[in-house]
Copies of this chain bind each other. A is one copy, B any other.
């Protein structure tokens, strides 16, 4: 085949950020925020997320909770993202989000209620503006784009402070049109939004290499003219730093960012899944070597900022936090069946009153 002469019209690079390697060694000077206090706080939140997930899985196993998606091994992403936002920013979660939700102030019992089949869990008492957990894959990214437009609009036209919309999704979600349509809009409308992809290598049983042919997820931003980078998603410092920078740029009107955080799903997809059916043992064992919690712990012990004693105290404290939450979850009052009508519309339309009555009568006298 003849090789014609061609003219170069565009070039793109994808870069990767890491501060702590898998062995907990710093690979470069840490960012300014990484004081011992902050790092200990990040460690605590990751440990809490892990404990909450562990308790939730046990609740499911004992029939006290429905299907539950653990974040085991991916705690650095949720905690790194959640911690990088301001309270007034708007977070648009997917469903595998323990760390980020805790950072946003969502209560453990709210998280449990959601997976316990109770909409009231989505009430997010302390994160009233954030979107609820979202199950249909990638749809939250379009909501985040719309929210980013609203925030920009309200900042520019209604003199409100500059705020940012941040959303997370899995790497599988990046195969869905919603992801691309949202990203393309962020680019062309230059919206104040940051998308973080939790690339945990699996979409239930579908491995990353069967999801897409691209060597990175970050490069998908090239299709939308959006800046992007890849971070070591098991390095909470890298995640926190990359998200904080991206959020600052978005807030400053410098446009959106796509961040790929590479990690690994050390757990089953959900409690309804059995990963042994499809996941190579060997791959799992290797992945366990670079998990985020041990990594940060090793680093902190190296700098003398962590110890068995502190670890013991922490675990005792977190255990109490969880017990309290589990009690609240167990003891919450049952919701009346008519609640399924109470929030369907702002006001119950006349056409539905008959059905509402029927349901209420059922409940009082089944």
| A positions within 8 Å CB-CB of B | 1-2, 4-19, 28, 31-32, 175-178, 180-181, 184, 187-188, 190, 209-216, 218-226, 229-230, 241, 245, 248
Inter-subunit contact A4/B224 (CB<8 Å): no
Q: How many angstroms between the C-alpha atoms of A223 and B1 in the bound complex?
A: 27
Known: A9-B16, A10-B219. 17 other contacts (CB 8 A): A4-B17, A6-B15, A7-B16, A8-B13, A8-B15, A9-B230, A176-B181, A177-B180, A180-B223, A187-B212, A187-B214, A190-B213, A213-B224, A213-B225, A213-B226, A214-B225, A220-B223
Q: How many angstroms between the C-alpha atoms of A214 and B176 in the bound complex?
A: 20
Q: How many angstroms between the C-alpha atoms of A211 and B181 in the bound complex?
A: 11
Q: Which residue of B lies closest to A32 (CB)?
A: B2
- For A11, the chain B residues whose CB sits under 8 A away are 11-14
Q: How many angstroms between the C-alpha atoms of A8 and B12 in the bound complex?
A: 11
Inter-subunit contact A28/B12 (CB<8 Å): no
Q: Work out how many copies of this chain go into the complex.
A: 2
Inter-subunit contact B219/A222 (CB<8 Å): yes
Q: A13-B8, A13-B11 are in contact. Are A214 and B210 (CB under 8 A)?
A: no
CB of A69 to closest CB in B, whole Å: 24
Inter-subunit contact A223/B219 (CB<8 Å): yes
Q: Which residue of B lies closest to A249 (CB)?
A: B1
Q: How many angstroms between the C-alpha atoms of A175 and B225 in the bound complex?
A: 12
Q: How many angstroms between the C-alpha atoms of A225 and B9 in the bound complex?
A: 18
Inter-subunit contact B229/A223 (CB<8 Å): no
- What would 24 A/B residue contacts be, using CB atoms closer than 8 Å? A1-B248, A4-B19, A4-B241, A6-B15, A7-B16, A7-B17, A9-B14, A9-B215, A10-B216, A11-B11, A11-B13, A12-B13, A12-B219, A177-B177, A180-B180, A188-B210, A190-B213, A213-B224, A213-B226, A214-B223, A214-B224, A219-B223, A220-B222, A220-B223
Contact among B4, B211, B219, B245 with A188 in the assembled complex (CB-CB below 8 Å)? B211
CB of A43 to closest CB in B, whole Å: 21
What 10 pairs across the A-B complex have the smallest Cβ distances?
A177-B177, A213-B225, A187-B213, A223-B223, A180-B180, A6-B15, A220-B223, A222-B222, A10-B14, A214-B225
Q: Which residue of B lies closest to A209 (CB)?
A: B188
- For A213, the chain B residues whose CB sits under 8 A away are 184, 187-188, 190, 224-226
- For A219, the chain B residues whose CB sits under 8 A away are 10, 12, 222-223
Inter-subunit contact B28/A4 (CB<8 Å): yes
